[in-house]
Every structure is written in structure tokens, then in C-alpha cells.
């Protein structure tokens, strides 16, 4: 599935297909790194977490109040850290297999992947500063 990613620098909408390994999507108009938001699914998940940058997976559902708090924060992080992070949102109602595989008991749950390997887990919403600290700290050598 193509993602349509709005550029935070110039506002252009970019239709992004598969991104080559080790690369990040850039704006076709101005060349800026794009905020890399993606809706992950059971079918695509193994590819969704493969990226040359850390991948935050947000397990959420429309009925989950704290998920509605953390969702926009993650979108902000994707914009501010464009080129350095990918955010994959997985709707657990529509995609039950991946949450089962990773023993996701409650939502929101965030998983962090580095090079396709699970590097961190955060259960429950966090303020943005704490979320950024978790991102920077998790799985660092």
C-alpha cells in the first residue's frame, strides 16, 4: 500500500511506495526528509519494521482514550525527527495477529525496533519528553 506523506517543510503531498533498504523517504519537491508515518497490518508487519532508522510501533484502537492522546504526540515526533525515525501504527481491532505475537496485553503499547530487532517496549501513554527519552535510550549499545 502506498503512503501519502505530507512534507513538513514545503507542504507537498508525496506518494511513497517501497523505500529501498537503508534509505528514508524524501520530498519529491524540496528534498527534505518526510515524516514517515505508516499504517501497519498483519500482512505487512515484517516489512514495516525493517528500516534503516528506528521504528516505533504504536498498537492502538479507535475506542482507546489514551491512544488518542499518544497518537498526535507520535505524529509530532515523526515530523520533528523526519529522516531519523519511522512510526508504524497498528490498529489492534483490524490486526490481531501481530499484537498476539508480541504479547501485547493492553493498549496503547509501543514497541521499538532497531534493524528489525525488538529493542524496547512501553505500555501506556507517556508525555512527549519521556517518550523521546525512551526512544533515545532503548536498545542503545
Shortest CB 16 distance to Zn ion, Å: 12
The three-state secondary structure class of 101 is: helix
Shortest CB 26 distance to Zn ion, Å: 8
* Binding residue (CB under 5 A) for Zn ion from 3, 9, 52, 73: 9
Q: How far is 8 from 64, CA to CA, in rounded Å?
A: 27
* Binding residue (CB under 5 A) for Zn ion from 5, 19, 26, 27: 27
10 Å CB burial of residue 136 (0-12, 13-18, 19+) is exposed
29 binds Zn ion (CB under 5 A): yes
Shortest CB 18 distance to Zn ion, Å: 20
The count of other CB atoms within 10 Å of the CB of residue 36 is 24
Q: How far is 62 from 49, CA to CA, in rounded Å?
A: 22
Question: Active-site residue 7, yes or no?
Answer: no
- Packing angle of the helix pair 128-137, 65-80 (nearest 10 deg): 60
Q: Which is nearer to Zn ion, 11 or 127 (CB)?
A: 11
30 binds Zn ion (CB under 5 A): yes
Q: Which is nearer to Zn ion, 14 or 122 (CB)?
A: 14
Catalogue the active-site residues. Answer: 64, 67
Contact residues: Zn ion, CB under 5 A: 7, 9-10, 12, 27, 29-30, 32
Amino acid at each position: 500500500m502506498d503512503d501519502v506523506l505530507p512534507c513538513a517543510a514545503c507542504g507537498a503531498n508525496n506518494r511513497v511506495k517501497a523505500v529501498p533498504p537503508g534509505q528514508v523517504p524524501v520530498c519529491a519537491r524540496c528534498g527534505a526528509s518526510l515524516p514517515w508515518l505508516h499504517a501497519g497490518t498483519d500482512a505487512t508487519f515484517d516489512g514495516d519494521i525493517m528500516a534503516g532508522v528506528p521504528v516505533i510501533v504504536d498498537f492502538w484502537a479507535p475506542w482507546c482514550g489514551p491512544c488518542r492522546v499518544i497518537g498526535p504526540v507520535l505524529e509530532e515526533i515523526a515530523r520533528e525527527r523526519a529522516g531519523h525515525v519511522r512510526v508504524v501504527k497498528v490498529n489492534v481491532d483490524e490486526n490481531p495477529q501481530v499484537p498476539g505475537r508480541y504479547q501485547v496485553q493492553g493498549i496503547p503499547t509501543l514497541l521499538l525496533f532497531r534493524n528489525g530487532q525488538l529493542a524496547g517496549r512501553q505500555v501506556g501513554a507517556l508525555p512527549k519528553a519521556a517518550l523521546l527519552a525512551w526512544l533515545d535510550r532503548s536498545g542503545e549499545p
